[in-house]
Structure 1
Amino acid sequence: MVAANPLFAGGHYYKKFQATVINDIWPEVLFFSLVGAMVTLVSEMTPHSLAISNQMLTVLGTVLGLVISFRTSTAYERFSEGRKLWTNIAIASRNLAQVIWIHVPFERVNKATGEKRPHLEVVIEKKSMINLVQAYSVAVKHMLRGEGGVYYSDLYPLISFLPRFSTHVERADEEDMLPLWKASNMDHDTHKTIHESNIVSRASTMPPSRSNSFPLPDSTGSDELTESEKRDSQFWYNSQGRLKRSKTFDPEAALPVLPSEHPLQPARNPPNASIYDFFPFLRIIKLITRPFRHHHKKSEPELPSSARGRSFTGKKIRPEAADSNVPVEIALFLTTYFSSLMRQGLLTPASATAMNSAISSLQDTVVNLERIKNTPLPFAYQAHLRISLWLYLFFLPFQIYSAFKWLTIPATAFASFLLIGFLEIGQEIENPFNYDLNDLDLDIFCLAIQRELHEVTAHTTPDPESFIFSQWNQPFAPGDRRNAREMMDDVEHSYHGLDTGMHHIRKTLLRSWRDVDEMTRHS
């Protein structure tokens, strides 16, 4: 997402140019400028004047401006709501991870045998479910971008341990495959041409693929990376979705390295940028030379709409909506885990309520995100508004010629650029989940959630008594700057009085308030 302001502040000018709507509106601006040039040339070079009365100019211009302003404001509300909903996903993910990691007890007893469960077994269980929480946001990201299935380098490693079939793997066939993997296989077949066109991912250098739902055993048990994994960890995808060597930024390297039966697609696959994105008028040359360029060339595989760039005129091609059940399936596994904890009596009522609320919040948020993505403004409204604007701009040079003369041409071009630009901006931001530079950076949001969840699991959940009553804690400062251990050891102090102890503690806290009030106020 390009958020720098103003346009020429700092570097990355090419990104800022691509973030504008110039490529989308230049054909219309050119057309109306030519209309203005035609009106001016005919009126100046012939005895016929094409000027007409401008009585309707002010009234219609004001009304049209208000309608376009409303259109843009409505689109920005959808953009802003999308950002708020992603904040809800981050909050719910964090809360759910905290409940799983802290409130679900580490000390467990096997009810069947009465033996204490190994601590490592419990930690693996809890960490695996928190990985599913992380996978949920990643699955939502791919769903909103019209990318179905699970075979992505940032999603598959997090959910590869989930069961594939409804029955035992030895008796399972295609009909027994669960919806999550069934839909992913169908999606993989749909985009088979993408894999054949050398769109590679981190999984391309992984060990041989597996044939069932169980990961391959690690024969070495070593944490050392192989040479291929070391080389692979130095790659990350650039803004064009191509692999780029980078030793400083590789989020994929933080994920598990697991074999996949299908080649994994990149975590992000935006359309490629070309010279035509910076000089849109060159697309005319591209159209003229197309028969000669493709005469002796093998036809290129058709890319999905999410990976395409622009049409011939330069307008962005909107990705098609993709039905994805991945977030729903992940939520079902999280709910199943919640149900298992309840059956075992491992959650208090308050913790159970918090966990259930977090899972429900995740699902509610995704439904609202789908609503934004799949509910554009009605076609009749958009068509009527655009046709009205075209008619207004078409008759504009006829109305302003008598006052502007030769300046009619630049005046028409400027008015077209201004009004059509605002109209196009509304259409640009009403669906803020794709790869456009004006869209929300969903990858950054998912990486932020990933960092927060790992921070939660890094917490050691110590007993509060182990760190509260220590020499590093001065709870009564500035009224009493002794540490907690000194206060507890000094049994002769007035704080320890049976009847007067709390009175002296309150006096100290009151003194602390007076000192803080005096020290923190300006004179």
Structure 2
Amino acid sequence: MSSRNSPIYIENMRLSNKTRLFKLSMPGAFSFKDSAIRIIWIPVTIMATYAGIVVWLNTYFTRHALPVSVIPFISVVLGLLLVFRSNTAYDRYYEGRKLWTDIKNQSRILTRNLCIGVKNVGPNDEKLKREAIRYILAYVVAVKHYLRGEKGTNYLDFQGLLPATFLFKFKHISTLRLSNYSSTGNSPLGRSSSAVDGATLGNNNLSGRSSGSASTRNSPVGGNTNADGDEDSRLFYFPEEPEELTQTPTTPLVNENQAVSGGENVNIPMHIMCEIAKYVETARDSNRMAPQMYGNIIACMNSLASSLAGCERIVATPIPLNYSIHLKQSVYVYLLILPWCILELNPIMVTLVEFITAFLLIGIEGIGAEIENPFGYDRNDLPLDTFCQTLKHELWMIERFSSPVDGEIPEDDDL
């Protein structure tokens, strides 16, 4: 290994700095892969072709030109709309970046508090602590998939993070079996089966109607009277899958594109956070952490939940549809009028001006549409995979450093 004062090390650092400065000074004007050209070239080409058709019509047919004074009035209004659109989209992008910074920072703090603040007393405490640390990383990974609309846990980056008990419970989370009731009809709703039909249970609860007997309909949900006349303790049974939220006479404001399927969109980060909370509560009940440390850990967990809620707000609150439609219509109205106002120019110049103007205006609108949801897979979205991988290495190192060291620790002089 070369010393920091050696000529080889100094030369390598000089070359690396030179390369970095060269990359920073390189203009990005010729970068087409990451630009908006790949998503706007079709409408830009169409508008340039339209300008050529206008020139051809006015060359061989009757000339119908518009006054140039029309352009400034429309340009001012259109400019204000585009500025507001781009600023709003970038605010959402930047807010998403800040929220993910909070998620990473609070994950580090929570991991540190668990490693330092929770004492290992029993022989199984170290294993449970490692499991809790991996739950923290699994929470971050689950947030990434949740924001992208990816359901389930069958992803490679979940491997080694979630224990088998959690995966088993998640796999069977929609299966509810009532083992306390036999198949003789002694069920909360008078059903003959020991398994409750979740969809029927949900419909009966919401509509207030049941297909059972009168005594069953009048009995509280989840309660039952056994053969001895003793009323069982009140229990609450959830349906196998929550009912879908669709447009009905009682929900007329729900559009088709806003229908929510309750059984598909499971909030996995919330369930993972519950597992972390169980570990923290168990450690507190066994007096393995100080009260102040318990308060710090709860604050970190609340901050992680708040950051997730902020990310959900970005995903679930798009730019209003009427504003987006009106902006697109304004852009194309301007581009449709522009060739008729500059017909006194050279025919080639008319097409060129239309092409450049369409590239600028449609490009600004396209950029705003692309970055308003920064949690996807596009090259201009936030690198969530990189964030998770970096945090994985950091938490892995924290977990290893906080674990007991096997063997004899050498003295400082022997290092």
Q: Name the TM-score class by shorter chain.
A: 0.5 to 0.7
Residues 59 and 173 (structure 1 numbering): CA distance in 2 closer, same or farther, change over 3 Å? closer
Cα distance in 2 between the residues matched to 1:452 and 1:363: 21
Q: Which of these residues, 29, 32, 38, is aligned with residue 17 of structure 1? A: 32
1:103 corresponds to which of 117, 125, 135: 117
Find the aligned partners of 2:335 and 2:175 in 1 and give their Cα distance: 59
Indicate the residue corresponding to 1:450 in structure 2: 392
Pairs within 5 Å for 1:124-523? 124-163=127-166, 174-175=175-176, 323-460=265-402
- Structure 2 partner of 1:122: 125
Q: Percent identity?
A: 32
Amino acid at match of 1:83: R
CA shift for structure 1 position 414: 0.7
Kindly state the Cα deviation for residue 123 of structure 1 after the two structures are TM-superposed.
1.6
Partner of residue 31, structure 1: 46
| Closer/same/farther in 2, CA of residues 400 and 176 from structure 1, 3 Å limit | farther
Superposed CA deviations along residues 161-194 of structure 1, whole A, max 9, x for unmatched, are 334567xx9xx993259xxxxxxxxxxxxxxxxx
| Shift in alpha-carbon separation, 1:434–1:34, aligned structure 2, 3 A | same
Give the letter aligned to residue 349 of structure 2. L
Deviation of 1:460 after TM superposition, in Å, equals: 4.2
Does the CA-based 8 Å contact 2:89-2:372 persist in structure 1?
yes
Is residue 145–residue 151 contact of structure 2 (8 Å, CA) maintained in 1? Answer: yes
2:234 matched residue in structure 1: none
Taking the aligned partners of 1:101 and 1:385, their CA distance within structure 2 comes to 52
TM-score by length of 1: 0.54
Cα distance change of structure 1 residues 67 and 398 upon mapping to structure 2, 3 Å threshold: same
| Pair 58,9 (structure 1): closer, same or farther in 2 beyond 3 Å | closer
Work out the number of aligned pairs and report it.
302
Distance 1:45 1:372 in 2: 52
* Deviations 1:444-467, CA, capped at 9 Å, x for gaps: 0001111111122232489xxxx9
CA shift for structure 1 position 387:
0.6
Cα distance in 2 for partners of 1:390, 1:37 equals 16
- Residue ranges of structure 2 left out of the alignment (5+ in a row): 1-22, 179-259
* CA deviation after TM superposition for structure 1 residue 404, in Å: 4.7
Matched, 1:58 2:72: yes
1:244-299, Cα deviation, whole Å (9 max, x unpaired): xxxxxxxxxxxxxxxxxxxxxxxxxxxxxxxxxxxxxxxxxxxxxxxxxxxxxxxx
Normalising by structure 2, report the TM-score.
Answer: 0.67
Alignment partners' CA distance in 2, 1:399 and 1:422 = 23
1:108-155 C-alpha deviation (Å, 9 max, x unpaired):
1xxxxxxxx23xx22211111100001011111111111111111111
Change (3 A) 1:397 1:359: same
Sort the Cα spacing of 1:84 and 1:407 in 2 relative to 1 into closer, same or farther, 3 A: same
**Residues of 2 paired with 1:364 and 1:443: CA distance?**
21
Does 1 or 2 have the higher relative contact order (CA < 8 Å, sep 6+)?
2
Residues 458/428 of structure 1: CA separation in 2 closer, same or farther (3 Å cut)? same
- Mapped to 2, the partners of 1:147 and 1:354 lie a distance apart of 31
SS in structure 2 at match of 1:18: coil
- CA separation of 1:398 and 1:135: change in aligned 2, threshold 3 A: same
- Paired amino acid for 2:72: T
- Return the offset for 1:45: 3.1
What is the alpha-carbon distance in structure 1 between the residues aligned to residue 163 and residue 397 of structure 2? 23
1:325 to partner: Cα distance: 1.3
Contact kept, 8 Å, 2:55 with 2:343, in 1: the verdict is: yes
Q: Which runs of 5+ in 1 are unaligned?
A: 109-116, 178-319, 473-523
